[in-house]
Amino acid sequence: MLELQSFESLFRENHAQCVAFATHYMGDSHAAEEVVQQVFLRLWEKRDSITITGPVKAYLFSAIRNTAISQWRKETVRADRETHYSTIRDTATEATDQARELERLYQQALDRLPERCREVFVLSRQQQMKYAEIAATLDISVKTVENHMGKALRILHQELKEYLPLLTGFLF
């Protein structure tokens, strides 16, 4: 069992060497100081259950090395996660920007359609109406609806041909 005076003495005698040793592993004196503090704190908290066989300095250095390595692993995992999430965020932002641009180009192409073609196309693709319903709504024949849809699809296909892989299933 470690008493307060013994602990304070142990701390004073070994602190500087422990920090120097931890700095070797951490590469940063501030982080090394944190590791040494953790080791001494754990030693104090577990003083009733820890049995040190052998030199105390060897125990301290071993505990510091293990804590430093553990800290390094945690930091590496955290950095990897941040990089991963940053990549996902960047990809999502880029996809959103591309979707906006594609929507703008689609709207421009749609605006360039002849009025009746656009009207038929919008009722079919955006309002999800059947050709017979469109024909009844616009008071035209189903054959005329088919012709307008064919014309609209040809024009949009031509205008947006470089983006077709992205649009397949969406418009066509």
* pLDDT > 70 in the chain, percent: 94
Q: What pLDDT does 24 receive? A: 86
Q: What pLDDT does 39 receive? A: 93
Tell me the H-state helices in 27-55.
Answer: 29-45
* CATH class of residue range 1-83: mainly alpha
pLDDT at 172 over 90: no
Integer Cα distance of 102 and 164 in angstroms: 11
pLDDT at 107 over 70: yes
Q: Is this structure's pTM higher than 0.85? A: no
Q: Whole-number mean pLDDT of the chain? A: 87
Q: What is the CATH number of domain 96-171?
A: 1.10.10.10
Question: Considering just the CA atoms, what is the radius of gyration of the chain in Å?
Answer: 36
pLDDT digits (tens, 9 = 90+) for 32-85: 999 999 999 998 888 888 878 888 899 999 999 999 889 888 888 888 888 888
Integer Cα distance of 6 and 4 in angstroms: 5
**Region 138-143: what's the mean pLDDT?**
94
Domain residue spans in the chain?
1-83, 96-171
Q: What pLDDT does 166 receive? A: 64
